[in-house]
Amino acid sequence: MSTTVSRLASSRPLQVVLYVLVWTLLGMISALQNLMVYAARGDEPPIGLVVRVALPTWYAWAILAPAIWWTARRYPLDGENRLHNLAIHAAANAVVVLAAAALVTMVRRALGVASGNWTLQLMGSLNTVLIGYWVIVLGAHAYGAYRRHREASLRAAALSGELARSRLEALRAQLHPHFLFNTMNAISAFVRESPEKAETMLADLAELLRFSMEDSGEPLVPLAREVAFVQRYLAIQQTRLGDRLQVSLEIADGVNDVLVPALLLQPLVENAVEHGIARRRGPGRLWVRAAREGDELVVTVADDGPPVAPEALDPEGWRIGLRNTRDRLKQRYGSERLRLSPRPEGGVEVEVRIPS
Q: For residue range 225-258, what is the model confidence (pLDDT) as tens digits?
A: 999 988 988 988 887 788 889 999 999 999 999 9
pLDDT at residue 4 is higher than 50: no
pTM of the model: 0.51
Task: Find out whether 94 and 165 touch, Cβ atoms under 8 Å.
Answer: no
Find the helix or strand (DSSP H, E) in which 173 lies: helix 118-174
- Which is it for the CA torsion 308, 310, 314, 319, positive or negative? negative
Polymer length of the chain: 356
User: In this structure, is residue 229 part of a structural domain?
Assistant: no
Stretch 64-89: mean pLDDT: 82
Kindly tell me the burial class for residue 246, based on how many C-beta atoms sit within 10 Å of its own C-beta (0-12, 13-18, 19 or more): middle
Report d(CA 298, CA 290) in Å as an integer. 6
User: In this structure, is residue 314 part of a structural domain?
Assistant: yes
* Domain membership of residue 148 as a residue range: 2-152
Last residue of some domain: 110, 133, 152?
A: 152
What are the two backbone dihedrals, phi and then psi, of residue 257, each rounded to the nearest 5 degrees? -90, 0
pLDDT at residue 178 is higher than 60: no
Dihedral-angle region of residue 79 (phi above 0 means left; psi in -120 to 50 means alpha; beta otherwise): beta
Last residue of some domain: 119, 152, 185?
A: 152
Structural domain count, the chain:
2
Paired residues of 299 in beta bridges: 290, 352
Instruction: Read off the DSSP letter of residue 78.
Output: T
**How much of the chain, in percent, has pLDDT values that exceed 70?**
79
Stretch 256-266: mean pLDDT: 89
Last residue of some domain: 123, 152, 181?
A: 152
Kindly tell me the burial class for residue 163, based on how many C-beta atoms sit within 10 Å of its own C-beta (0-12, 13-18, 19 or more): buried
pLDDT at residue 45 is higher than 90: no
Given pLDDT bands bounded at 50, 70 and 90, which one contains residue 291? Answer: very high
User: In this structure, is residue 254 part of a structural domain?
Assistant: yes
Tens digit of each residue's pLDDT (9 = 90 or more) over 126-137? 666 677 788 888
Statement to judge: residues 135 and 249 lie in one domain: no
Report d(CA 237, CA 240) in Å as an integer. 5
